[in-house]
Amino acid sequence: QTLLSDSDSEGLEDSQYSLRPQTLDEFIGQGRVKKQLRIHIEAAKSRGQALAHILFVSPPGLGKTTLARIVANEMGSSFKSAVGPAMERLDIATLLTNLEERAIFFIDEIHRMKGYVQESMYPAMEDYKIDLPIGQGPAADIITVPLAHFTLVGATTREGLLGGPFRDRFGNRIHLDYYSPEEIQIAINRLSERLQPSVKIEEDAEYELARRSRGTMRIAENMLRKVRDYATVESDGIITYEIAQEALDFFEIDELGLDDNDRTYLRTMIEKFRGRAGLKAMAVAVSEDERTIEEVYEPYLIKLGFLTLTPMGRVATDAAYQHLGYPTPEYQST
Ligand code: ADP
């Protein structure tokens, strides 16, 4: 599987098996997105052209990288990937000049790419050419190098952090949503069969894991692996509903899928800041970087209705107080 071999086998024990969905048909859920991609892919193929540049936007673990690879597969194109923050102009130039015709060039965390590096990509994205300096100092010359017709596929958790002109150069901006428990259950079922050795898990246990996965495929996959370990050591290896419950309790994942980090975050906000705090204060109080708080913790708490963002700071809602067993504060009556 050359497609899986370059950048992100992610050190998983099972990376040698192609566990990721490889085609749009195998990609679960996100019906509208798949339909949209199918249309663009089919049209581009029938014209023999490269796809328009695509920006995938979602919280982590919802399938942006997976979709980028699938797009390459479905186009029959080569796939190259890079991570935004690490890229310098010259790195980009080297990568771009080595792309094949209709290649998919995937940049993860593209919002963290430096501003001047983003800008250096404008001519590449618009006109498939790039300006390169030759020599140094005042005598330096610029030559313009033509590029293959490629497709830039960017992934970001924070669309708003991309420069406006950069964002506008993506013909397709595609948002992925959290998955339903039913969709995640399908993924858990599939993964349990594909893991080596396969995992025996009962249907109601699958659903229980799915329900507590915060609508996020990556969390579901990690949870299955953890619960598998628990079942292996504490029982006969079969994940029954009871074992699933026991394991999730043991790993401190609550009814709504919140883990210790989420609860610490909410508790800190409630106990230290009386339910309202700024991002910086929260980051210091829970010793976590601001980015992780904004991109990992908060989106799901907001989706659950436990947190709202206001001009006056983050506010824990009554529902959050109730979930954690605090009396609801009077000033917050809904
Ligand atoms: P992102 O790039 O958004 O952080 P990934 O593409 O790395 O997310 O996906 C995380 C994990 O979840 C991968 O192992 C991937 O195979 C799986 N996954 C994501 N979306 C789906 C889906 N729709 N169907 C099946 N598996 C999925």
**124 exposed, middle or buried (CB, 10 Å; 0-12, 13-18, 19+)?**
buried
Quickly state the pLDDT bin for 17 (edges 50, 70, 90): very low
Ligand 1 contacts CB of residue 219 (under 6 A): no
SS3 assignment, position 141: strand
Q: Check pocket membership of 185 for ligand 1, CB cut-off 6 A.
A: no
- Percent of the chain at pLDDT above 70? 93
Q: Is the CB of 109 under 6 A from ligand 1?
A: no
Location of structure tokens 């309790």: 249
Half-sphere exposure of 225 (CA within 13 A, CB side): 11
pLDDT band at 271 (very low <50, low <70, confident <90, very high): very high
Residues contacting residue 40 through CB under 8 Å, at least 6 positions apart: 51, 52, 172
Cβ proximity of 62 and 176 under 8 Å: yes
10 CA → ligand 1 middle, Å:
12
DSSP one-letter string for 103-127 = -EEEEETGGGS-HHHHHHTHHHHHH
Residue 251 pLDDT level (bands cut at 50, 70, 90): very high
pTM of the model as a whole:
0.89
Structure confidence at residue 79 as a pLDDT band (50, 70, 90): very high
pLDDT at 308 over 50: yes
Q: Tokens for 204, please give them.
A: 């109601």
Sort 233 into a burial class: Cβ within 10 Å, 0-12 / 13-18 / 19+: exposed
User: CA Rg, the chain, in Å?
Assistant: 23
Token couple for 243? 């074992």
Q: Which residues contact 266 (CB under 8 A, 6 or more apart)?
A: 301, 306, 307, 316, 320, 323, 324
Task: Collect all residues with Cβ–Cβ distance below 8 Å to 318 and sequence separation of at least 6.
Answer: 328, 329, 332, 333, 334
Please compute the mean of the pLDDT values over residues 257-266 and round it to a whole number: 95
What are 116-125's pLDDT values in tens digits?
899 989 999 9
Task: State in Å: Cα 57 to ligand 1 middle.
Answer: 13
Kindly report the protein residue whose alpha carbon is nearest to atom 6 of ligand 1: 63
Burial class of 252 by CB neighbour count within 10 A (0 to 12, 13 to 18, 19+)? exposed
pLDDT at 184: 98
Per-residue pLDDT band for 1 (boundaries 50, 70, 90) equals very low
Asked if 277 contacts 271 with a C-beta cutoff of 8 angstroms, the reply is no
- The overall average pLDDT reported for the chain is 90
Ligand 1 centroid to Cα of residue 64, in Å, is 7
**pLDDT tens digits for range 146-202:** 999 999 999 999 898 898 899 999 999 999 999 999 999 999 999 999 998 899 999
Cβ(61) to ligand 1 under 6 A? yes
Task: Please state, in angstroms and rounded to a whole number, the distance separating the CA atoms of residues 162 and 201.
Answer: 42
Residues in the chain: 334
Q: What separation in angstroms does the CA of 207 have from each of 178, 182, 212, 226?
A: 16, 7, 9, 16
CA 20 to ligand 1: nearest atom: 16
Residue owning the nearest CA to atom 5 of ligand 1? 63
Catalytic residues: 64-65, 108, 157, 218
Percent of the chain surpassing pLDDT 90: 78
Work out the average pLDDT over 217-232. 96
The residue among 70 and 94 whose pLDDT is bigger is 70
Spatial separation of the C-alpha atoms in residues 41 and 237, rounded to whole Å: 43
